Amino acid sequence: MIQNNHVNDNKLLFDNFIISYENLYFTMCKKNDLEKIINYAEVIRYSQGSTIYFENDEVKYFYLLLNGKVEITKTTDTDLSRTFAILSPGDTFGIQELFLKRHNVTATAYEQVIVGRIKKNDFFENLSTINSFMIDCLRTTTGVLAECQDEMVIYKPDTKLIVFVYWLSQSYGINRGTTIYITKTHTHEEIAEILSLSRETVTRTMNLLKKQNLISIEKKHIIICDLKKLEELKTHKSFIGLYGRIDYKLC
């Protein structure tokens, strides 16, 4: 079931979105500009499992994720559903597809979800002059492209996970001096879906990274304990981890 609400009735939702947006990203777009964007948003609620848009649907809107989680998937050539991302409050989605006629992925409510829906025409006619937001959109698009390029050449499950954790540190990390606190949380099951791995593989590899003092966990948040070594490890081909001997000594 979908319910529409006026923006003024949802001030708390949008206030929380602004806080989450600024915390999740190294953003150029700050509160004043975000408030301008929010003025164009229509609040929509989706029940768990509802489809926000299907792959090949006409592109009419982009979305601000106000509450809940959204899963982004794409159908493979063998008719399987591949998870690309599980988004959290503060994320935006559908922006890259505004330049297309039809969506190239499917967005589904992973749980009960509230979004701010903004018309495609408003993006081009009213929001494209907000330079800080355009820079954030470009940064997001560049990140997606880089992820796709990395994905094309990474086959080992442990390397996939290490690259993913490193990407989280760069996209959602807050520097705490000697450590980096990742604001975005994912369960092992969610990570497994994103990386097309088994949950058991994710759990074992995460435990290995903790054992090597690369990461720790604080109330479901990943803490990067040694970013330099993690960066070296993500491209070090002798790291075999769960599937054999670890030639690269981390300690």
Ranges of the chain with pLDDT below 50: 1, 237-251
Distance CA 10, CA 100 (A): 30
Evaluate whether 4-148 and 154-243 have a shared fold: no
Longest CA pairwise span in the chain (Å): 58
Task: Please tell me the pTM assigned to this model.
Answer: 0.69
3-class secondary-structure state, position 24: helix
Say what the pLDDT of residue 9 is: 65
75 CB contacts (<8 Å, ≥6 apart)?
55, 81, 82, 106
Task: Summarize pLDDT for 32-49 with one digit per residue, the tens.
Answer: 999 999 999 999 999 999
Delimit the domains of the chain by residue range: 4-148, 154-243
Distance CA 109, CA 86 (A): 10
Say what the pLDDT of residue 92 is: 93
CATH topology of domain 154-243: Arc Repressor Mutant, subunit A (1.10.10)
Say what the pLDDT of residue 240 is: 32
Backbone φ, ψ for residue 212 (5° rounding): -85, 10
Task: Summarize pLDDT for 49-80 with one digit per residue, the tens.
Answer: 999 999 999 999 999 999 999 989 888 776 76
Say what the pLDDT of residue 152 is: 67
240 CB contacts (<8 Å, ≥6 apart)?
158, 246, 247
4-148 belongs to which homologous superfamily? Jelly Rolls (2.60.120.10)
Residue 209, classified by CB atoms within 10 Å of its CB into exposed (0-12), middle (13-18) or buried (19+), is buried
Distance CA 131, CA 34 (A): 12
143 CB contacts (<8 Å, ≥6 apart)?
167, 171
What token pair was written down for 39? 């003025």
